Chain A
Amino acid sequence: MAAHIGLCIAKEFSDTPGPRTREEGDFSGEQFLAEFLLPRYQEALSQGTHLAVDLDGTEGYATSFLEAAFGELARKYEPAEVLKVIVFKSDDEPYLIEEVTKYITEARKRR
């Protein structure tokens, strides 16, 4: 397996992640999914590697943002596959990994 692909949300996207949708405001989960998460995820899939998502360095994540980004990704792709490809890092708030994992595994029940 090739070296993993990285994605640091605070450095590459925003240190103040916003609401759920683009209409609701800047730096939304929808925008993050379309511009960063989905392209990187597809790149990782095509290369057969992991996508390392760094959650540290932001002011915090609302459920609306995480659900719109990671939950929506798990509605486009199999949740089990998403969890195999994405590797999370969260030293500031370790429980965030468990939280995002829950949004991914329960994504299809929610919509």
Chain B
Amino acid sequence: MKVRMIIFSTILLLVTIGLLFAAHLCLWGLSLDLEIRPIEVLTLAVTIGVAVLVGYYFTNQVNDLRAEKDLLIDDIRTVLGVLKACRETLNSCYDSEKIGPKSKAIILTHFHRLINGIEEIEASLKISQCVNLSQEIVPIKNAYLSYKMAATGGSFPSKPYNRSSMSDQEQASRILNASLQSLVFAINKYH
């Protein structure tokens, strides 16, 4: 994008210089009027001033929005990381065919961090320029609850996970993962 801008500006500058030079040499019927009129100088100054201010304002707007988006996306990435760790812990419990006290505490901590992370994203969305996207948190919370119910409902933690329970967990975690990723895409597209 920057390279294109530089090329475009260079071409524009060269054409302008070329035209001025052609006018100076009176080529193609062109001529230069060297008389300076104050009103025209003032108009030019105002035009340049407005162009610079408008450009500056929009550049700042775009930069601010991008910075907010990056912060929000970082928060979602953190939650996605917790979700991955949670899934790994649940898988290792399934593989070892038991849920010991330590694993139980780790699983509950993962779910605690997951939901608190989701609520942090919601709070950040509400104070950001992407405030309209805060409604996207509702399906994410529903997916979280379905996942927690699949992983810590039933006979948790007294009986190990069975194949059916693992299948429910996998499905629920995929839905949660997909809804978090779709929020990332929505934030990126937001303008």
Taking Cβ atoms with an 8 Å cutoff, the residues of A that contact B are 16, 18-20, 24-25, 59-64, 67, 92-96, 98-99, 102
Contact between chains at B153 and A59 (CB < 8 Å): no
Taking Cβ atoms with an 8 Å cutoff, the residues of B that contact A are 101, 104-105, 108-109, 111-112, 115-116, 118-119, 141, 145, 148-149, 152-159
Contact between chains at B158 and A25 (CB < 8 Å): yes
Contact between chains at B145 and A99 (CB < 8 Å): yes
Contact between chains at A62 and B157 (CB < 8 Å): yes
Q: Contacts A67-B153, A95-B115; is A102 near B145 (CB within 8 Å)?
A: yes
Interchain CB contact (< 8 A) of A19 among B108, B149, B157: B157
What DSSP secondary structure best describes chain B's contact surface? helix
A59 to B108, CA, bound (A): 7
Residue of B nearest to A61 (CB): B108
**Contacts of A98 on B, CB cut-off 8 Å?**
141
Residue of A nearest to B150 (CB): A63
Contact between chains at A60 and B105 (CB < 8 Å): yes
Q: Can you list 16 residue pairs at the A/B interface with Cβ under 8 Å? A: A19-B157, A20-B154, A24-B158, A25-B158, A59-B108, A61-B108, A62-B104, A62-B152, A62-B153, A62-B156, A63-B149, A63-B153, A64-B155, A64-B156, A67-B153, A93-B115
Residue of A nearest to B108 (CB): A60
What DSSP secondary structure best describes chain A's contact surface? loop
A20 to B156, CA, bound (A): 8
- Min CB distance, B122 to chain A, in Å? 10
Contact between chains at A19 and B155 (CB < 8 Å): yes
**Contacts of B118 on A, CB cut-off 8 Å?**
95
- Min CB distance, A9 to chain B, in Å? 14
Residue of A nearest to B101 (CB): A16
Contact between chains at A62 and B141 (CB < 8 Å): no
Contact between chains at A62 and B108 (CB < 8 Å): yes
A sample of 19 more A-B contacts (CB under 8 A), given A24-B159, A95-B118, is A16-B101, A16-B105, A19-B155, A19-B156, A20-B154, A20-B155, A60-B108, A62-B108, A62-B156, A62-B157, A63-B153, A63-B156, A64-B154, A64-B155, A64-B156, A67-B153, A93-B112, A95-B116, A95-B119
**Contacts of A93 on B, CB cut-off 8 Å?**
112, 115-116
A99 to B118, CA, bound (A): 14
Give the top 10 A-B pairs by smallest Cβ distance, nearest first: A60-B108, A24-B158, A62-B152, A63-B153, A19-B158, A63-B152, A95-B115, A63-B149, A64-B156, A62-B156
**Contacts of B109 on A, CB cut-off 8 Å?**
59-60
